[in-house]
Structure 1
Amino acid sequence: MSMLDGRRPRALGIICVITAVVLGIFYMAFVGAPARYLGVNVGAFAIGLSMLALLDRTAAASQRWGDGVSIAMAIAMLATALFGSEVDGAARWVNLSGVAIQPSLILMPVMLVTFSRIRSVLATISIIAAAVAMALQPDRAMAGMLALCLATLAVIRPDRHVCLALAASIISFAATLVRPDTLPAAPYVDQILYSSFGIHAAAGLAVLGGLAMLLVPAIVGWSRDAAHRTIYCAFGTVWFAAITAAALGNYPTPIVGYGGSAIIGYVLSLWALPKLSGVREGAAELARGTMDEPSSNAHLFVALA
């Protein structure tokens, strides 16, 4: 019950993403998507959970690992912009064994939610580098996610790190707006929020319900854990931005559409949520740019069971 009432935010998030993945599989099976697509989404969830456990162990082994990981994530996104697979002038993907993954959709959410907890020079540099990568790719949806989340953080808890990162994100988003985005909608990936209702009301409700589940951890956390509202707000803003982008343009519909990148990205972003709700972070820890030591993932596997 502590998982369901929000006392264990990560476990609640795992329950929500399982529900969203199942609803997405129902939608794809209902509309006749290839069986391989369903398997990719299930496999992506398993990979995301394994990466979450690995991330937890890595963080527990080293208290100062965070800045290095953020820089590595930013470099990965820059490398994708420069050397990734290009389609209609956009280089957002990396092909692995015939499956296209979108590194920014995997890495950007966890970077942003972690940045809401840790403010340091290297973390800020990594966010600025990610903004440059989004402008180069270009990726209007992810640049918008970056700008919206940082603008939210600037309103809730402003400091020089957030202001610098926000300025870079606004420039990045503006750069994506002036460059054409001519990618067509991909079947079972883009614009399914609307097309699903055109097929059947049950398919549309499955998509809508799955997307709503993505915001539950943020809503529950905001209402029950006042000490960490900045983190929950960042988490909710990130995934609200992803949903909004999917509704407004030809961008992946997270979790419920075909594609493992958003599934892995959502699971990883759960790592940045507090280990227990209602536990206050010390002011000294925030000043040093550190975060709470991550807890064991045992409760996540209980949630799975």
Structure 2
Amino acid sequence: MPAPRHRTMPCAPVWLAAAALVAAVTSGLLFFHVGGAPAAYLPLNAASLLLALIAMFAVPAGRLGGQGAAWVVALSLAGMVATLVSGFDLDGVRRWLPLGPVRLHTAMLLLPAMIAALPHLAVRWQLAAVAVAATVAVLQPDAASALALGIGFVASHWQRRRAPSIAAGHAVVATGIIASAFRADPLAPVRFVENAVADGWALHPGIGILILAALLFAIGAPALMRRSHRDSALGVAGVWTGFAAASLIGPYPTPLAGYGAAAILGYGLAMAVLRGLPVRDWPHGNGTGRSGEDD
């Protein structure tokens, strides 16, 4: 098979993702202002938005090679595992790492970037990484993270879903979703963190519609990179779909529009990874972004 040609990614999709992130976060800021959120909420999310936008363009386009992708996955897993050892404990739930007065939800911060980089690893390392991430989600416990991991993995490997190794990965993430869903979650929803769409609608239907529309825009924006990154871009969109779906059906944080720095920063990091990944032009490829080997 001819060697893949590499080129840098067009910048237009990144600017579109930046606009989507601004729209989603701004809809949340409007919700905070109208709903009377605590004074610290608005500046924290606004500052996180600025940092995320900087991060999006911090990595030169196409400069993150295979070794860089491996480091992204390894560091992301290390951060998520750290919650079980030294993370913030709230009623037996460990999903956060403290950063001064701020608690960062590690899966929202790191999982999107991990899924973006994952398809650039050998399959055996992909399966190992997914198994570790699913185990962490069960132990924390965090059904939202397990769902985001599952949808992200399925979306990023959809073209290869019939490969035996990928089917094994599907079994791993499905087990993680089921196991985490059946673990007790003692945390009550916090206003402006969870249920942002429903609470925004309660304030004014226009706010609820705005939050939902902006969130859908932010979820879909990474998928527009699919011609450049195929599996990685769809995987990132899948992760945010999982987090958003969990927030609509259970007491889990609303990503980007709800209060919290982690999701906003995580969006920026994931887009930075997507921008940094080399684009592969496969002259006779299988449409998966890989040569079809199951190494």
Per the normalisation by structure 1, the TM-score is 0.80
Deviation at 1:68, TM superposition (A): 2.7
Q: How does 1:33-112 map to 2 (within 5 A)?
A: 33-54=37-58, 56=59, 60=63, 64-112=67-115
AA paired with 1:271? A
- Match of 1:145, SS state, is helix
- Tell whether 2:235 aligns with 1:234: yes
Aligned to 2:125: 122
Asked if 2 retains the 8 angstrom alpha-carbon contact of 1:116 and 1:234, the reply is: no
Aligned in 2, Cα 1:258/1:57: closer, same or farther, shift over 3 Å?
same
Aligned to 1:8: 12
Deviation at 1:34, TM superposition (A): 2.2
Q: How does 1:200-211 map to 2 (within 5 A)?
A: 200-211=204-215
Deviation at 1:120, TM superposition (A): 4.0
Match for residue 185 of structure 2 among 160, 165, 181: 181
Aligned in 2, Cα 1:262/1:275: closer, same or farther, shift over 3 Å?
same
Give the paired residue count: 279
Aligned to 1:296: none
Aligned in 2, Cα 1:75/1:280: closer, same or farther, shift over 3 Å?
closer
Q: How does 1:280-299 map to 2 (within 5 A)?
A: 280-282=280-282, 286-287=290-291
The whole-number CA distance in structure 2 between the counterparts of 1:141 and 1:76 is 17
- Residues 169-225 of structure 1: CA deviation (Å, up to 9, x unaligned): 222222212211121011101012112111122322332232122133145445xx3
The whole-number CA distance in structure 1 between the counterparts of 2:245 and 2:181 is 16
Aligned in 2, Cα 1:177/1:32: closer, same or farther, shift over 3 Å?
same
Aligned to 1:148: 151
Per the normalisation by structure 2, the TM-score is 0.83
Asked if 2 retains the 8 angstrom alpha-carbon contact of 1:75 and 1:129, the reply is: no
Aligned in 2, Cα 1:120/1:220: closer, same or farther, shift over 3 Å?
closer
Once the two structures are overlaid, the 10-residue window that deviates more, 205-214 or 45-54, is: 45-54
Asked if 2 retains the 8 angstrom alpha-carbon contact of 1:143 and 1:172, the reply is: yes
The whole-number CA distance in structure 1 between the counterparts of 2:273 and 2:167 is 21
Asked if 1 retains the 8 angstrom alpha-carbon contact of 2:222 and 2:236, the reply is: yes
Aligned to 1:198: 202
Q: How does 1:149-164 map to 2 (within 5 A)?
A: 149-158=152-161, 159-164=163-168
- Match of 2:290, SS state, is helix
Asked if 1 retains the 8 angstrom alpha-carbon contact of 2:55 and 2:272, the reply is: no
Structure 2 gap segments, 5+ residues each: 1-9
Aligned in 2, Cα 1:236/1:59: closer, same or farther, shift over 3 Å?
closer
Aligned in 2, Cα 1:59/1:69: closer, same or farther, shift over 3 Å?
farther
Residue identity (%): 25
Aligned in 2, Cα 1:8/1:77: closer, same or farther, shift over 3 Å?
same
AA paired with 2:167? C
Asked if 1 retains the 8 angstrom alpha-carbon contact of 2:109 and 2:263, the reply is: yes
Aligned to 2:171: 167
Asked if 2 retains the 8 angstrom alpha-carbon contact of 1:71 and 1:123, the reply is: no
Structure 1 gap segments, 5+ residues each: 1-5, 290-305
- Match of 1:65, SS state, is helix
The whole-number CA distance in structure 1 between the counterparts of 2:22 and 2:90 is 31
Deviation at 1:50, TM superposition (A): 3.8
The whole-number CA distance in structure 2 between the counterparts of 1:58 and 1:207 is 30
AA paired with 2:22? I
- Residues 122-168 of structure 1: CA deviation (Å, up to 9, x unaligned): 34322221111111111100101111222334442234553333222
Q: CA RMSD in A?
A: 3.0
The whole-number CA distance in structure 2 between the counterparts of 1:264 and 1:228 is 21
Aligned to 1:264: 265
Aligned to 2:4: none
The whole-number CA distance in structure 1 between the counterparts of 2:272 and 2:159 is 21
The whole-number CA distance in structure 2 between the counterparts of 1:220 and 1:287 is 22
AA paired with 1:124? L
